Amino acid sequence: MNVPVILTHRRGRWVRRLDAELSGLAPLLHRSIVKFAKGGAGAIISSYVPVLMEGRIIAGYATVHRDEYIPLWQTLGEAVHSFGCKFIMQLSHSGRQMDIPGVHNYTRPALSSTSRKESLHGFLCQAMSLEQIDHTIRAFARGAWRAREAGLDGVELHAANGYLFTQFLSSGINDRTDRYGGSLTNRARFLLDVIQAIRAAAAALHLLQSMPAQCAEESHGRYEPKRFADHAAMVEQLMTIYQAHPILRVPTPVEISP
């Protein structure tokens, strides 16, 4: 029996250097992804694709922040589809967690759920205003719309590894006192608002969401992994919140089984 294989593509340093914003999608990146499709993968999830320039973790990552990039992603999607493989775009935003900001973001305070610096690199950051949150929500929705217009099969929200969604979900990072901070219901609101906006902008698009394998909470200037039991409880609470949402109800295992 042939079992479909789903691959998550990760850019190596040699690919990132060629993956310049002006060219959109480097030929080497294109070839590396198509190579996996040709090898028999059932589906490929792209690596990190920022929805805004200020959301890149490393300068030079291919983005989906402009309509002009739709044809570039369409070309890649069609090449992947030619081998009977699905292609899913991972929509992302770094928040305060950037590795190399690049010229565009070098003097720009990174946007996050907090104004406290990220402890590893220490780049300047600021808590997002409600207007900036709304702008970012729309950027994710527009990114999903562009993925749909490019003929891709779905999008994944990168809610792991300490990036922007994690910065809102984390009680150790998110120190807001408005409707996006405090309780887990409030901390999950940004992610849920993004999902709702994507559903409105690209209703037919398949939507996935990544979650961290373990929850990293910042404490006293350093990251400390929480106990897995605590993380499991958080995920269980999130599922309850999802189930209660009128348009985000998560299917039960019976509903999603063949």
Domain boundaries, the chain: 6-246
Give 14-62 pLDDT, tens digit per residue: 333 333 443 445 565 677 888 889 999 899 998 889 999 888 877 777 8
Which is it for strands 154-157 and 206-209: parallel, antiparallel or unpaired?
parallel
- For domain 6-246, is the CATH number 3.20.20.70? yes
Question: Residue 104: how many CB atoms within 10 A of its CB?
Answer: 12
Question: Residue 119: how many CB atoms within 10 A of its CB?
Answer: 13
Paired tokens of 16? 């990132």
Helices (H), 17-119: 27-38, 70-81, 102-105
Which H or E element spans position 175?
A: none
The answer to whether 163 is a known catalytic residue is yes
Amino acid identity at 233? A
Q: What is the mean pLDDT of the chain?
A: 76
pLDDT for 114 equals 94
Q: Which of 48, 61, 69, 163 is catalytic?
A: 163
pLDDT for 20 equals 42
CA 40 to chain centre: 25
Give 153-188 pLDDT, tens digit per residue: 999 998 888 889 989 988 889 999 999 999 888 998
What φ, ψ does residue 186 adopt, rounded to 5°? -70, -40
Contact residues for 44 (Cβ-Cβ < 8 A; gap 6+): 6, 7, 8, 9, 33, 36, 37, 80, 85, 86, 87, 88
